[in-house]
Amino acid sequence: MTAPTDVDLYAGGTATLLAAWEEYARGTSGAAVHRLGGVAAAVFPHGPERGVYNNAVLDRDLLPAERAAALDAMEEVYAVAGIGRFAAWVHEDDRAMRADLERRGYGLDETTRAMGMSLDDLRTPRPSLDLAAADWTEYLRVIEVPTDLLAGADHAAFHVVVVRHDGGNAAAAMAYDHGEDCGIYNVGTLGHARRRGLGTALTTALLHDARDRGRHTASLQATSMAERLYAAIGFRDLGRILEFVPP
């Protein structure tokens, strides 16, 4: 099998992310992912999901008219849903789209690092972990988000892992398969258990599980604090994702 390029990994990771949002939306009232010309906009108008998943991924390297049409379509779909706060995701290399957003008054809010890897390159041995029952509510508690988040979603569609440390549940993460790719999301460790390598071990275990399920690549979006952790496992830097918010 031909080794994936960085372009392949970025495209695969984006496709997996959008598929995961669509899975979330299927179990959330009024939610949908709208695939419009040049943009895919996740619209979550209700519940705790409203504060988390209203994000739009803009295509790269569009022509000027296509960029304008994509931004117009994005703004319209959120306006119709009554959502004033959302994030437009742009790859850092897309300077033209960044400039168009800034001309419309959007400001940079957050950044993450797109990362991906071929699972053929996974060299870190499978760690030995003290695993707890993969209970959805406990998973949400450990990653410190509202415990009714995605309450109506099909939780069996996701691969959730919760790890114990010093007698209690201390770290958790989720994986989602789409095609040949596995997306790793929401890797979190409670404060008292940080700096003990649980995040690295948990991510590595999910990668081994994904390879066992027949996946060939893995993808994630890393915070600046976690970039080195993922790079040490074998993830490649695919560029920053810039999150712009409307004025």
Q: DSSP of 86-136, one letter per residue?
A: -EEEEETT-HHHHHHHHHTT-EEEEEEEEEEEEGGG--SPPPP--BPP--H
Q: How far from 44 is each of 58, 88, 103, 111, 208, CA to CA, in Å?
A: 17, 14, 26, 21, 32
Q: pTM (2 decimals)?
A: 0.95
Residues 99, 242 contacting (CB under 8 angstroms)? no
For residue 228, count other CB atoms closer than 10 A to its CB.
Answer: 9
Lowest mean pLDDT across 39-43, 187-191, 227-231 = 187-191
pLDDT band (50, 70, 90) for residue 198: confident
**Mean pLDDT value of segment 59-71:** 97
pLDDT band (50, 70, 90) for residue 210: very high
Q: In terms of C-beta density within 10 A (0-12 exposed, 13-18 middle, 19 or more buried), how is residue 44 classed?
A: buried
Q: In terms of C-beta density within 10 A (0-12 exposed, 13-18 middle, 19 or more buried), how is residue 78 classed?
A: buried
Q: What percent of the chain has pLDDT above 70?
A: 99
Assign a CATH topology to domain 6-116.
Aminopeptidase (3.40.630)
**Mean pLDDT value of segment 106-117:** 98
In this predicted structure, the answer to whether residue 193 has a pLDDT above a threshold of 80 is: no
User: What is the predicted pLDDT for the residue at 167?
Assistant: 83
User: What is the predicted pLDDT for the residue at 54?
Assistant: 98
**Mean pLDDT value of segment 19-44:** 97
221, amino acid identity: Q
pLDDT tens for each residue of 5-24: 999 999 999 999 999 999 99
User: What is the predicted pLDDT for the residue at 1?
Assistant: 65
Q: What percent of the chain has pLDDT above 90?
A: 88
HSE-CB at 42 with a 13 A cutoff on CA atoms is 27
Say how far apart CA 110 and CA 90 lie, in whole Å.
11
Answer whether 6-116 and 118-238 agree in fold.
Answer: yes
**Mean pLDDT value of segment 145-168:** 93
Assign a CATH topology to domain 118-238.
Aminopeptidase (3.40.630)
**Mean pLDDT value of segment 91-115:** 98
Provide the pairing of β-strand 87-91 with 55-58: parallel
In this predicted structure, the answer to whether residue 174 has a pLDDT above a threshold of 90 is: yes
Domain ranges (residues) in the chain: 6-116, 118-238
**Mean pLDDT value of segment 136-161:** 94
User: What is the predicted pLDDT for the residue at 133?
Assistant: 85
Provide the pairing of β-strand 32-36 with 39-43: antiparallel
Say how far apart CA 86 and CA 69 lie, in whole Å.
18
In this predicted structure, the answer to whether residue 151 has a pLDDT above a threshold of 70 is: yes
What single DSSP character describes residue 235?
P
pLDDT tens for each residue of 128-140: 998 888 889 999 9
User: What is the predicted pLDDT for the residue at 194?
Assistant: 83
